[in-house]
Chains A and B, each alone.
Chain A
Amino acid sequence: MELAVIGIGIAVLLVLLIVGFILMYNRLQRLRVKVEEAGSGIDVALEKRYDMLSELLESVKKYLSHEYQTLTGVTALRSGAQGEERRLDQQQGLSEEVIRSIDEEISRQTHSMDEIRKQMDRGRIGRMGSHRNRERDAQRREEAQKSLHEARELRGGAVNQKISALASVHRDLTGVTAGIDALYEQYPVLNSWISMDQFQRAVYNTEEHLQAARRLYNSNVSIYNQTVRVIPWSIVAAMFHMEPASFYEVEEKKRSFQANFD
């Protein structure tokens, strides 16, 4: 009877040991899988960073390239417009001078015409005199009329010149206006800062995810390593050659960082 009891006791103990052993082994294996899963999580985060940022970078580069071309085109137009402006300034100066001189000529001719009319009027009043005087007066009247006619023609010519000069200025202004309109239509709204801002945020966000993945990995490694090193798990771990896992380590070149804005 006693032997039976002892036998049962030993059997129960053995069963308990085996069950305990299995439970410990299973726990170690689960922790090991957790470590591997967390390591894979880092890869997932890295791949996400690569894929997402590659695509984003491509679209940002295309957008920047488009904006660069547009900006250089606008700059060229602006340079052309500046040249046009200079030309217009010069032309304006010339036009003003021309019109001023034409105005002076018109005034001169008008004054001359007034003088001639006055002379003619004085001659008409002095018509009652000698024959020689009358002939002289008629000659003078003829000359005066001729001068008047010439002055009128000169004045008319000056007026026509002024009109032509003004018409030319108007045509030039019309051309400049058309140029400005064309410039305005081609001038784009440059929003590269928005895409750059979004890119920076995407970078920050993916780095946060990567950081979280690394910390999760280290946390799982820590739990696993603590377990394999304490008794009685260490016994089971040693039996199955379960080594402690390595913590995430940074690359040597990333241990120090120096900002360089060159």
Chain B
Amino acid sequence: MISNQQIEQMQKKAKVRYTLMCVFAVVIWLAGVALLGYYAFFSGEEMEISEKLGLVLALPLGLALGGGYLFYILFVRTAYEQFNLCFKTQYVMPTVESTGYFQDLSYNPHLGLSYTEIRDGAVVGCGESRYFHSENLLKGTYQNIRFHYCDVKTQYMSRSGKKQEVRTIFEGQVMRFASFNQSKRSFGHLQIFEKEFLSNLEGWTAQNKIETEDEAFNKRFQIFAADSHNAFYILTPRMLEQITRFADAMGEQIAITFTGPVMYVAVCRTRSIFDGDVDKPISSQREDILQDVEMLRKAGELLITEMNTIDGNL
């Protein structure tokens, strides 16, 4: 068991190394500017002004960035990952348990949802398996419904002529609830994607594009379903309302998929859940964890419990 003091020492170590990395990069830049400036303007070499300026400004910057990155890889990343892992192991579970919302909790910072599950769930584009990454798996039950909650990142290799680049399709959190309604099942996939400019969040989509009677909803979301009747059966006016409320609460781009009894919810967010921050005191980072957990609770409360409450009131 690692003590709080040890974690704080790790945090301090990571922060110091990060600061040193910045200083190192600046020193390289200044040294580069000085040396190359002297060479360019005082060595007597015949060069164009643009070449001289390029040499003085661009090259030192490149060297500084390269040197800084090397320093990061060699010294900073290891220290931060060590601190982050200890922070998650020490703080995440007790904080989540203290909320009292969930039962049967388990947390593993190294595990996540599998590529196959994300691909079959079709809540976001799965990209290529070699670039798929998932971690920070929190499992448990909410109102007797099993859930999985983790970070997911999907990417693919983009080829444009000779140029190759790894592009990110989705980076954020994915929640998987074992049941979204006591009596309803989705026959085939029912997908809802929030529209966003230049977003390619959706990968494979079902064959029927659905337009509901709610024009505001249609403007904000795209709906795809294997079966149109099934889509309207699950997306009742109340459900449409709840999805809108959830999207408003998140403030980020969301995607929801229903398949069989299971519901997947994806929220686009670049920040990983439960990550430690080197700049904040350890004790005050509890709020960040609670915020991450609140997202999960909101999904369960708005998208599941409300529906079950209606059915339970028969």
> Taking the nearest CB of chain A, how far is it from the CB of B139, in angstroms?
30
Known A205-B183, A215-B213, A222-B213; contact A41-B314, beta-carbon cutoff 8 A? no
Q: Is B212 an interface position by the 8 A CB rule?
A: yes
Picked from B210, B213, B233, the residue with its CB within 8 Å of the CB of A208 is: B233
Shortest Cβ-Cβ A-B pairs, 10 listed: A212-B232, A212-B233, A215-B232, A216-B232, A200-B314, A216-B228, A204-B314, A216-B229, A212-B229, A219-B211
Bound-complex Cα distance A219 to B228 (A): 10
What residues of chain A have their CB less than 8 Å away from a CB belonging to chain B? 41, 197, 200-201, 204-205, 208-209, 211-213, 215-216, 218-219, 222-223
User: In the complex, A51→B184 CA distance in Å?
Assistant: 20
B229 touches A41 (CB 8 A): yes
- Whether the Cβ atoms of A223 and B211 lie closer than 8 Å is yes
Q: Is the CB of A201 within 8 A of B183?
A: yes
A204 touches B311 (CB 8 A): yes
Please, which residues of chain A bring their CB within 8 A of the CB of B232? Answer: 211-213, 215-216, 219
Given contacts A208-B184, A216-B232, A222-B213, 12 further A-B contacts (CB under 8 A): A204-B183, A208-B233, A209-B233, A211-B232, A211-B236, A212-B233, A212-B236, A213-B229, A215-B213, A216-B231, A219-B212, A222-B211
Q: List 24 A-B contacts (CB under 8 A).
A: A41-B229, A197-B314, A200-B314, A201-B183, A201-B311, A204-B183, A204-B314, A205-B183, A208-B233, A208-B236, A209-B233, A211-B232, A211-B236, A212-B229, A212-B230, A212-B232, A212-B236, A213-B229, A213-B232, A216-B228, A219-B212, A219-B213, A219-B232, A223-B211
CB distance from B175 to the nearest CB of A (A): 25
* B residues 11-26 in Cβ contact with A at 8 Å: none
By a CB distance below 8 angstroms, the chain A residues around B231 are: 216
Chain A: CB-nearest residue to B184: A208
Q: In the complex, A215→B223 CA distance in Å? A: 15
Instruction: Report chain A residues within 8 Å CB of B229.
Output: 41, 209, 212-213, 216
Q: How far is the CA of A197 from the CA of B230 in the complex (A)?
A: 24
Question: Closest CB of chain B to A103's CB: distance in Å?
Answer: 66
**Which B residues have a C-beta under 8 Å from some C-beta of A?**
183-184, 210-213, 228-233, 236, 311, 314
**How far is it, in angstroms, between the C-alpha of A116 and the C-alpha of B229 when the chains are bound?**
107
Q: Residues of A contacting B212 with CB < 8 Å? A: 215, 219
Q: Taking CB as reference atom, which chain A residue is nearest B215?
A: A222
Complex CA–CA separation, A211 to B210 (angstroms) = 16
Q: How far is the CA of A1 from the CA of B183 in the complex (A)?
A: 73
In the bound assembly, the distance between CA atoms of A185 and B311 in angstroms comes to: 38
Please give the distance in Å from A16's CB to the nearest CB on chain B: 27
| Bound Cα distance from A207 to B229, whole angstroms | 13
CA distance A257 to B159 in the complex (A): 63
Considering the chains assembled together, what is the distance between the CA atoms of A208 and B314 in angstroms? Answer: 13
A223 to B209, CA, bound (A): 12
**Shortest Cβ gap from A45 to chain B (Å):** 8
Chain B residues within an 8 Å CB radius of A223: 211
Q: Tell me, rounded to whole Å, the shortest Cβ–Cβ distance linking A224 to chain B.
A: 11
What CA separation (Å) do A205 and B181 show in the bound complex? 12
Question: Shortest distance in angstroms between B41's beta carbon and chain A's nearest beta carbon?
Answer: 65
Are A218 and B236 within 8 A (Cβ)?
no
Q: How far is the CB of B33 from chain A (nearest CB, A)?
A: 64
**Cβ of A200: which chain B residues have Cβ within 8 Å of it?**
314
